[in-house]
Amino acid sequence: MSGKTVHVEFEGVNKSYDGRKLVVRDLNLRVEEGEFLTLLGPSGSGKTTCLMMLAGFEDPTGGVIRIFGDSVGKVPPRRRNIGMVFQNYALFPHLSVGENLAYPLEVRRIERAGVVERVRRALRLVRLEGFEGRRPGELSGGQQQRVAIARALVFEPRLVLMDEPLGALDRRLREEMQYEIRRIQRTLGVTVVYVTHDQQEAMAMSDRVAVFNRGRIEQVAPPEVLYEEPERGFVATFIGDNNLLFGRVLGVERDICEADTGTDVVKAFLVAPRGVGDRVTLAIRPERVALDPEPGRYSNEFEAQVDDIAFLGDHLRVRLTVCGSTDFVIKIANTVGHGAVLEDDRVRIGFTPLDCRALVPDEEREEG
């Protein structure tokens, strides 16, 4: 993560459209050269605005954006030399695939033979050899997507932005294209800043993910870190499933605290320093909870009531009332001998303090 050149840098960037409400607040972010970074968040969280500011279609209200160390505040989009893939492809419908790809090259006054060669190479890269003469309207969604990617790469930019490029495709095609985009990015070594609201897509493709919520970045980390070590309740629930319990700290011993949820006392791993009496949010992944463990194996063991059981093929999802929560969910792998659980059973569950992360409640930071 270090030693590489910083390619893109946001420093204290704010953005407001109406002069009152900030849609991006005090944003600080660095993207390294060759990195695949995804801006992930629900709609309206400010991720697309960030991408638009980077592309130059929106001006930051405050702060600085740098590309290779140079502030791009006054540089118009066409001089930024950034490849961009739009949500609905934005292919020019009146031009053929070849003409679409040649467009950025002609703008750059590249001679004819070079244009033809580069267009052919770009189409080969996206596996659409021989499609030069087709009109975008004659292509399938997936093919149009590939053309859009080829067009964003054909003039060899070192930075490519993608704004929910797979949103219009169905699931299978989307997964295939995720792989394709990743392959192309690795082949060329370009830096990619990718926007999506689909956390699985973000996990599958990215070197790092920046999770956006209400105009701020909640956490920037590689996918597995986001999953295993979420720092905020929002991240904990936005990336994968998580159970949240709410409580107050009773006592702290090094990294482990004891928290009172009102009905039980839970031992949890402290992510941020908290003192006795502070409120905490506890996050426990459903698949890290054991059902009917050997007594004494876990330092967190509770009696729970089974409210609902759903069969989901490779696993069962069991909904429990426990520790003051009525929607505590656990996952049980569908393996031989997963045990017979019935609705309304009283069961015991257990989990380690390391799988139960004590987070600073999200409301507290909002106030700050």
Partner 1 sequence: MPGVIAEAGRSRLSSSFLRSLKAWLLVLPLLAFIGVTFIVPLGSMLTRSVHAPVVADALPETLALLRSWDAAGLPGEAVYAAAAREIRTARETRTLGQVATRINRLKSGLRGVLSRTARQLRSIGPRPGDHEPERAGQPPDDATPWRDTLLGIDDAWGEADTWLAIRRAGERFTARHYLNALDLTQSVDGGVVAQPPELRIYLPLLGRTLLVSLAITVLCLVLGYPVAYLIAQAPPKRANLLLLLVLVPFWTSLLVRTTSWIVLLQSQGVVNDLLVAAGLLGDEDRLAMIYNMTGTMVAMTHVLLPFMVLPLYSVMRTIPPHYMRAATSLGGTFFQAFRRVYWPQTLPGVGAGSLLVFILAIGYYITPALVGGRTGQLISNMIAYHMQQSLNWGLAAALGGLLLVCVVALYLVFDRLVGVDRMRLG
Partner 2 sequence: MGRLLHVAFCAAVFVFLVAPILVIVPLSFNAEPYFTFTDGMLRLDADAWSLRWYEAVAGDGEWRRALVNSLVIGVSATVLATVLGVLAALGLASPAMPGRAVVMSVVISPMVTPVIVAAAGMFFFYSSIGLAQTHLGLILAHAALGTPFVVITVTATLAGFNHDLTRAAASLGAGPWYAFRSVQLPLVLPGIVSGALFAFATSFDEVVTVLFMGGVEQRTVPREMWAGVREQISPAILAVATFLIAFALLLMGLVQWLRGRGSGSEPAARDAATA
Q: Which amino acid is at 134?
A: R
Using rule CB under 8 A, residue 17 touches partner 1: yes
Using rule CB under 8 A, residue 215 touches partner 2: no
* Binding range to partner 1, per CB under 8 A, among 10-18, 89-97, 122-130, 174-182: 10-18
Binding mask 35-74 for partner 2 (x = CB under 8 A): --------------------xxx-----------------
Whole-number minimum distance, CB 125 to partner 2, in Å?
Answer: 17
Using rule CB under 8 A, residue 352 touches partner 1: no
Under 8 Å between Cβ of 30 and 6: yes
- Residue with the two structure tokens 């956490």: 219
The residue from 41, 46, 83, 230 that contacts partner 2 (CB under 8 A) is 83
Q: How far apart are CA 265 and CA 301, in angstroms?
A: 10
Which of 345, 232, 217 shows the shortest CA–CA distance to 280?
232
Using rule CB under 8 A, residue 338 touches partner 2: no
The residue from 8, 22, 159, 360 that contacts partner 1 (CB under 8 A) is 22
Residues paired with residue 194 on neighbouring β-strands, in sequence order: 38, 162
Q: What angle do CA 219, 200, 208 make, to 5 degrees?
A: 40
Question: 91 contacts which partner out of partner 2, partner 1, none, CB within 5 to 8 A by kind?
Answer: partner 2
Under 8 Å between Cβ of 243 and 202: no
Q: How far apart are CA 283 and CA 261, in angstroms?
A: 12
The number of helices, as runs of H, and strands, as runs of E, in the chain is 9, 20
The residue from 73, 92, 170, 272 that contacts partner 2 (CB under 8 A) is 92
Whole-number minimum distance, CB 196 to partner 2, in Å?
Answer: 17
Other CB atoms closer than 10 Å to residue 312's CB: what's the count?
A: 9
Question: 189 contacts which partner out of partner 1, partner 2, none, CB within 5 to 8 A by kind?
Answer: none
Question: 291 contacts which partner out of partner 2, partner 1, none, CB within 5 to 8 A by kind?
Answer: none
Whole-number minimum distance, CB 127 to partner 2, in Å?
Answer: 22
Using rule CB under 8 A, residue 166 touches partner 2: no
Site for partner 2 in 116-155 (CB under 8 A): 136-137, 151-152, 155
Under 8 Å between Cβ of 225 and 209: no
Site for partner 1 in 42-101 (CB under 8 A): 59, 61-62
Q: How far apart are CA 368 and CA 361, in angstroms?
A: 12
* Binding range to partner 1, per CB under 8 A, among 15-23, 200-208, 279-287, 313-321: 15-23
* Binding range to partner 2, per CB under 8 A, among 76-84, 291-299, 307-315, 360-368: 76-84
CA distances from 310 to 120, 132, 341, 344 (A): 51, 50, 11, 14
Q: Which amino acid is at 61?
A: T
Q: How far apart are CA 277 and CA 274, in angstroms?
A: 9
Using rule CB under 8 A, residue 17 touches partner 2: no
Residues paired with residue 160 on neighbouring β-strands, in sequence order: 83, 192
Q: How far apart are CA 325 and CA 321, in angstroms?
A: 6
Using rule CB under 8 A, residue 20 touches partner 1: yes
Cβ burial of 154 (10 Å; 0-12, 13-18, 19+) is: buried
Question: 364 contacts which partner out of partner 1, partner 2, none, CB within 5 to 8 A by kind?
Answer: none
Site for partner 1 in 191-220 (CB under 8 A): none
Under 8 Å between Cβ of 168 and 198: no
19 or 137: whose CB is closer to partner 1?
19
Q: Which amino acid is at 48?
A: T
Using rule CB under 8 A, residue 86 touches partner 2: yes
Using rule CB under 8 A, residue 16 touches partner 1: yes
Question: 78 contacts which partner out of partner 1, partner 2, none, CB within 5 to 8 A by kind?
Answer: partner 2
Under 8 Å between Cβ of 31 and 191: yes
Helix (H, G, I), strand (E, B) or coil at 74: coil
> Which residues form the interface with partner 1 (CB under 8 A)?
14-20, 22, 59, 61-62
> Which residues form the interface with partner 2 (CB under 8 A)?
55-57, 76-84, 86-88, 90-94, 103-104, 107-108, 136-137, 151-152, 155
